[in-house]
């Protein structure tokens, strides 16, 4: 146990920590920095759009070249006169991909209250109101609506077709069914890209390059 001058130093340090925790617990939750949050949201959508594009390309190759996994394995095998290099375009439809994207989006749109403020119901409610979702609902409601439609549409498509696509890439699929799947994939990919581009335009209009933004800027 610390004693003498050392005990005094420890006590002062502990007091400082406790005061800091107390101040954070009673402080009013801050509004999010809209610039930084929109940039993060844009990057998530951009990554998702690239993944969706790869999915569409794989389906198009399946339709135009009948390039299933079994065919690729055969063409690249030793029984093919030494093997022929055939690159198969994989797609990111594995379990957990869209779930991770949704979780990342929620963390930006509606982050939880800081740990020090979670003990207070009033502070938790206040933090729940001060989110990027609320800000977008005020400043750009049409963008918020199109963003939600795009995300929900793509999530619904992937959820419904994840196993069907995996089966198709392994064993093939009837042309009509595949065409419908590709058409819907293209539509949902286009919607995602449109939402991403709308967010980019908002960022460029509101925060042009070289313009300094204050830490408390929210719109």
Enumerate the domain spans of the chain.
32-206
Tokens 């990027």 appear where? 132
Q: Give this prediction's pTM.
A: 0.67
The candidate with the shortest Cα–Cα distance to 193, out of 35, 50, 83, 22, is 50
pLDDT over 80 (residue 175): no
Model pLDDT, residue 88: 44
Burial level of 17, CB count in 10 A (0-12/13-18/19+)?
Answer: exposed
Which tens digits make up the pLDDT trace of 95-154? 677 888 888 998 888 766 555 555 456 555 555 566 888 888 888 899 999 999 999 999
Would you place residue 207 in the very low, low, confident or very high pLDDT band (cuts 50, 70, 90)? confident
Compare 198 and 100 and report the one with higher pLDDT.
198
The whole-chain average pLDDT of the chain stands at 71
Model pLDDT, residue 10: 44
pLDDT over 50 (residue 200): yes
Model pLDDT, residue 97: 76
Would you place residue 199 in the very low, low, confident or very high pLDDT band (cuts 50, 70, 90)? very high
């Amino acid at each position: 146990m610390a004693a003498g001058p050392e005990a005094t130093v420890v006590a002062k340090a502990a007091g400082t920590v406790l005061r800091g925790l107390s101040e954070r617990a009673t402080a009013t939750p801050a509004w999010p920095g809209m610039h930084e949050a929109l940039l993060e949201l844009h990057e998530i959508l951009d990554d998702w759009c690239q993944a969706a594009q790869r999915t569409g390309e794989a389906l198009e190759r399946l339709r135009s070249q009948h390039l299933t996994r079994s065919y690729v394995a055969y063409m690249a095998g030793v029984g093919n006169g030494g093997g022929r290099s055939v690159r198969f375009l994989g797609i990111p439809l594995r379990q957990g991909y869209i779930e991770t994207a949704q979780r990342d989006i929620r963390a930006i749109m509606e982050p939880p209250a800081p740990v020090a403020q979670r003990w207070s119901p009033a502070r938790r409610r206040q933090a729940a109101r001060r989110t990027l979702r609320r800000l977008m609902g005020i400043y750009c409601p049409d963008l918020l609506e199109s963003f939600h439609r795009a995300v929900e549409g793509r999530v619904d498509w992937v959820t419904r077709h994840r196993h069907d696509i995996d089966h198709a890439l392994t064993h093939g699929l009837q042309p009509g069914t595949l065409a419908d799947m590709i058409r819907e994939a293209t539509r949902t990919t286009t919607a995602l890209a449109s939402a991403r581009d709308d967010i980019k335009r908002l960022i460029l209009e509101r925060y042009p390059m070289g313009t300094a933004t204050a830490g408390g800027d929210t719109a």
